[in-house]
Amino acid sequence: MGREIEIEAKNLLTKEELERLQHYFSLSDSEFISQTNHYFDTTDFALKEKKAALRIREKNNKYIMTLKQPNEVGLLETNQLVSTEEANLMLETGTIPNGDVKSDIEALKVPPAKFTYLGSLKTSRAEVQYNQQLIVLDISHYLNIVDYELEVEGTNVDTVQEEFNRILKQHNIPKRPTKNKILRFFERKQRLFL
């Protein structure tokens, strides 16, 4: 699967704002596909300290392990297809399968033997290509929270930001500082268990 640069802009939405965008982009309820992100880190959050994150995304009975880490532009994503057995072993024991993701974790000087499963976030996602950008609407459920999100993804920072700003302005949606899903998940988990 390999490595790729992820360039995106994101904004949390109200339920009503999401519904307006869903209507505007002509996305039916049946176009929202369910996926589950299973999150991992060391017990002392060594990846989070390095502004990196590790997940396994479960979608259509396939499992893709992804390490996201800071990059000069956007985020560097290392993706690796894993078997059901490897995913289950990782969920049960934190054992990271051999491959590019494990190598990149080791390059970050994070010991791969110390990982643990932190929890899951379920998302219903609809995607549409629009003006050469990928528009994503997400409804996420985690730790007794439901949130709604717009993401605009592309290959150029400027064009992603321009399309993102245009959509927000056109639909009268305020720009809200929006952390990525794993950070929202971590912060909610910390608040619940303090």
Query: What is the DSSP secondary-structure string of 134-194?
Result: EEEEEEEEETTEEEEEEEEEES-HHHHHHHHHHHHHHTT--------HHHHHHHHHHHHT-
How much is the pTM? 0.90
Q: What is the pLDDT of residue 194?
A: 59
Angstrom CA distances, 110 to 105, 156, 182, 183, stand at 6, 30, 18, 19
Angle at 147 between CA 75 and CA 81, to 5 degrees: 45
Residues 176, 169: contact at Cβ < 8 Å?
Answer: no
Of 2.40.320.10, 3.40.980.10, 2.40.110.10, 1.10.760.10, which CATH number belongs to 2-192?
Answer: 2.40.320.10
What are the pLDDT digits (tens) for 132-146? 999 999 999 999 999
Give the range among 1-10, 42-51, 78-87, 109-118 with minimum mean pLDDT.
1-10
> Rounded to an integer, what distance in angstroms lies between the CA atom of residue 45 and that of residue 168?
34
Higher pLDDT, 40 or 1: 40
**For residue 191, is pLDDT > 90?**
no
Give the mean model confidence (pLDDT) for residues 4-28: 95
The CA distance from 17 to 148, in Å, is 9
The domain spans of the chain are 2-192
| Helix, strand, coil fractions of the chain, as percent rounded to 5 | 35, 40, 25
Residues recorded for the chain: 194
Question: Using CA atoms, how far apart are residues 16 and 18, in angstroms rounded to an integer?
Answer: 5
Query: To 5 degrees, how large is the angle CA 47–CA 44–CA 146?
Result: 70
